[in-house]
Amino acid sequence: MSKSLHERRSLVDHDHQELSVRKQCSLLTVHRSGLYYQPKKVSALNLELMRLMDEQYLHKPYYGVYRLWEWLTKDKGYKINIKRVRRLCRLMGIEAIGPKPNTSKPAPGHKIYPYLLRNLTVTHSNHVWQTDLTYVPMAQGFLYLMAIIDVKSRYVLNWSVSNTMDKEWCTEVFRETVRQHGSPEILNTDQGSQFTSDLFTQAVTVEAGSKMSMDGRGRATDNVFIERLWRSVKHEHIYHNPPADGLELYQGLKNWFNDYNTERRHRSLNGEFPITVYIAEKKKEPQAA
């Protein structure tokens, strides 16, 4: 008899001399989020600043480094230099929407895919998925959250937490989602290095046989449904209940996403639940020949 998920997680040895935690999780087919990462440690001042910047960015995503620094120093009274704000923005993975110099140039070796959702009518579940990462403030430290949402139903197909924003983690989450729900026709992401990496794009286009769609640089509205999801989960849960550690965060998010999918009626879905619409609309998914 195969071991339960809990038993397999207990086999992961964080101090193994030869196998990394990532490799052990792959061999045991367990999700790294289930290991309940401890938050990254930073100074109390930086945590305070990052928490403020995160909330301000949710309201005003057009704020770049300079405007965030100006807001923190002139409106909030912090005596900090702009270099600190720039470093924290980089750490949080945020940047202002809007055109920037040389935005048409992709990172060396990384292919940028065109945006495919403009004027597209999404007709069924698994037609279009969207995914993104976001910073998660903790009581002492921070982690990152990734989620994948089905555009037609607003159903959150999968989510994961980690203390690194690496391409291996993002690829693992996508592959797991495909194993659970099948492949999307189109996956939309931003132009982050995790999503433009060969590892991730090959998993999408070759392994899953899906098309890649990428936001225009600095266009947060291109990935609007996942951006709305971040606002909801942060304002309704995380900001009001700052988790002390990864286990508390994981369990809290598990409850919140379950409620979002199965107990929250959406006006945009004519008052239906995302899971109900996902199942109903999945029947319209074209069958492979």
At residue 6, the pLDDT reads: 46
Confidence label for 105 from pLDDT (cuts 50, 70 and 90): very low
Q: Is the pLDDT of residue 103 over 50?
A: no
Mind listing the domains of the chain with CATH numbers? 128-282 (3.30.420.10)
186: its two tokens? 């189109």
- Residue 257's pLDDT band (cuts 50, 70, 90): very high
**Distances, alpha carbon 90 to alpha carbons 44, 47, 58, in Å:** 18, 14, 16
14 has a pLDDT exceeding 80: no
Residue 33 has pLDDT above 60, yes or no: no
Q: Show the CA angle centred on residue 131, arms to residues 188 and 202, nearest 5°.
A: 65
Among 4-18, 37-51, 174-188, the least confident range: 4-18
Q: Counting Cβ atoms within 10 Å, is residue 77 exposed (0-12), middle (13-18) or buried (19+)?
A: exposed
Q: Position of tokens 């929407």?
A: 97
pLDDT computed for residue 37 by the predictor: 62
30 — pLDDT class (breaks 50, 70, 90): low
Give the model's pLDDT for residue 106: 47
Residue 85 pLDDT > 70? yes
Q: For residue 3, name the pLDDT band (cuts at 50, 70, 90).
A: very low
Residues with Cβ < 8 Å from 38, sequence gap 6 or more? 141, 163, 245, 246
Reported confidence tier of residue 255, pLDDT bands at 50, 70, 90 = very high
d(CA 54, CA 227): 13
Mean pLDDT of 134-146: 91
**pLDDT at residue 285 tops 80:** no
Q: Residue 247: its pLDDT value, please?
A: 81
User: Residue 16: which pLDDT band, with cuts at 50, 70 and 90?
Assistant: low
Write down the pLDDT at residue 235. Answer: 94
Q: What are phi and psi of 272, to 5 degrees?
A: -95, 165
pLDDT reported for residue 81:
97
Question: What integer is the mean pLDDT of 232-251?
Answer: 89
Residue among 226, 228, 231, 218 nearest 95 (CA): 218
- Cβ neighbours for 253, distance < 8 A, ≥ 6 positions apart: 145, 159, 161, 233, 237
On whether the CB atoms of residues 83 and 52 are closer than 8 A, the answer is no
Say if CB 124 and CB 41 are below 8 A apart: no
208 has a pLDDT exceeding 70? yes
Secondary structure class of 247 (helix, strand, coil): helix
Asked whether the predicted pLDDT for residue 188 surpasses 70, the reply is yes
Q: What is the largest CA-CA distance in the chain?
A: 64
149, β-bridge pairs: 130, 156
pLDDT in tens, 36-67: 567 778 899 999 999 999 999 998 988 999 99
DSSP symbol at 113: P
Above 60 in pLDDT, residue 69?
yes
pLDDT attached to residue 25: 67
pLDDT at 95: 83
pLDDT band at 176 (very low <50, low <70, confident <90, very high): very high
Locate the DSSP E strands across the chain: 128-138, 141-150, 156-162, 186-189, 211-214
User: What tokens appear for 202 in the block?
Assistant: 């090959």
Q: How confident is the model at residue 140 (pLDDT cuts 50, 70, 90)?
A: confident
